[in-house]
Chain A
Amino acid sequence: GQQLNQSPQSMFIQEGEDVSMNCTSSSIFNTWLWYKQEPGEGPVLLIALYKAGELTSNGRLTAQFGITRKDSFLNISASIPSDVGIYFCAGRASGTYKYIFGTGTRLKVLA
C-alpha cells in the first residue's frame, strides 16, 4: 500500500535542542496530520493542517503544510525528555476519506 516518506527514521538529540522532521508524498493532499505515539500507547493527534502554507503551533510544536501540498514539516523547540516517542505524519487526498500514514520518526532525547 501507499505510504508517505518520513524522515529521518530516528533521531538522538540532547535535551534543549530543536528537532525538525518532514514527510513527503508523490500525491497532493488536502489535509496533513501529525501524531505522537508513546511506548505502549496509541498515537495521539498533535496538530492538524488544512491549507497549503498553513503554519500551526501546539506549545513547543509547530507544523507546516507545504506550499506544494506534497509535504509537511514538524518542528519541536527546546526538546525535553517527555518528547520521546514516535512521530507519525498522515495525509489525506481530496475525494478520499482514508489517511495514509508515514512510517514514523523515532525520537530519543538524552538528558
Chain B
Amino acid sequence: NAGVTQTPKFRVLKTGQSMTLLCAQDMNHEYMYWYRQDPGMGLRLIHYSVGEGTTAKGEVPDGYNVSRLKKQNFLLGLESAAPSQTSVYFCASSPNPGQGGGYTFGSGTRLTVV
C-alpha cells in the first residue's frame, strides 16, 4: 500500500518563482490536509479539504493556494515563493475524523527558497 505519496521530495526555488507540490492518497479518504513544519513550531495547518472540490483555509494560508479536483489528489501551490516559505511540507489524509482513526502522513517535501 502506497498510502500518501508526496512529490517532489526536495526542491530549491528562487524568490519569486512558483511551484506546485503534489499529494496523492490511495486509501479513498475524504479529508486531506497540508501542513508545514518549522523548527520549534510543530505542525501548522496551511489548507485542508473535506471532500473533492472543496478547500478551506487553515491557520497559515497566506501565500499558498490549493486545489482538490480529484478525491485522491490535493495540490499545494506557491505563486511567488518567499524565503519565509522555506520549510518541510507534509500532506496528510484521513477518513471523517468523527468516525475514528487519525491522519496518515506523507514523507514530506523539503523546500528551500533562496
- Please give the residue numbers on chain A whose beta carbons come within 8 Å of chain B beta carbons, in ascending order: 1, 3, 31, 33, 35, 40-45, 48, 50, 88, 90, 92, 96-99, 101-104
Q: List chain A residues, Cβ under 8 A from B101.
A: 48
Cα distance A96–B102 when bound, in Å?
Answer: 13
Is the CB–CB distance between B107 and A42 below 8 Å? yes
Q: List chain A residues, Cβ under 8 A from B105.
A: 35, 42-44
Point out the residue from A40, A45, A92 that lies within 8 Å of B107, measured CB to CB: A40
Output the residue of B48, B98, B102 with the most chain A CB within 10 A: B102
Write the chain A residue with the least CB distance to B90: A42
Given A42-B108, A97-B97: A1 and B90 interface contact (C-beta under 8 Å): no
Q: List chain B residues, Cβ under 8 A from A88.
A: 42-43
Task: Tell me the count of chain B residues lying within 8 A, CB to CB, of chain A.
Answer: 27
Write the chain B residue with the least CB distance to A50: B100
Cα distance A103–B37 when bound, in Å?
Answer: 10
Instruction: Return the CB mask of B38-58 against A: 1 if under 8 Å, else 0.
Output: 001111110010100000001
Cα distance A92–B73 when bound, in Å?
Answer: 24
Q: List chain A residues, Cβ under 8 A from B107.
A: 40-42
Residues of chain B in range 88-114 having any CB-CB distance to chain A below 8 Å: 90, 92, 96-98, 100-108
Instruction: Return the CB mask of B19-31 against A: 1 if under 8 Å, else 0.
Output: 0000000000001
Cβ distance A69 to chain B, nearest Cβ, rounded Å: 16
Point out the residue from B58, B60, B98, B106 that lies within 8 Å of A97, measured CB to CB: B98
B59 within 8 A of A: yes
Q: What are 9 pairs between A and B in contact, CB < 8 Å?
A: A31-B100, A33-B102, A33-B103, A42-B108, A43-B103, A45-B102, A50-B100, A97-B96, A103-B41
Q: List chain A residues, Cβ under 8 A from B102.
A: 33, 35, 45, 48, 90, 99
Point out the residue from A1, A41, A98, A102 that lies within 8 Å of B44, measured CB to CB: A1
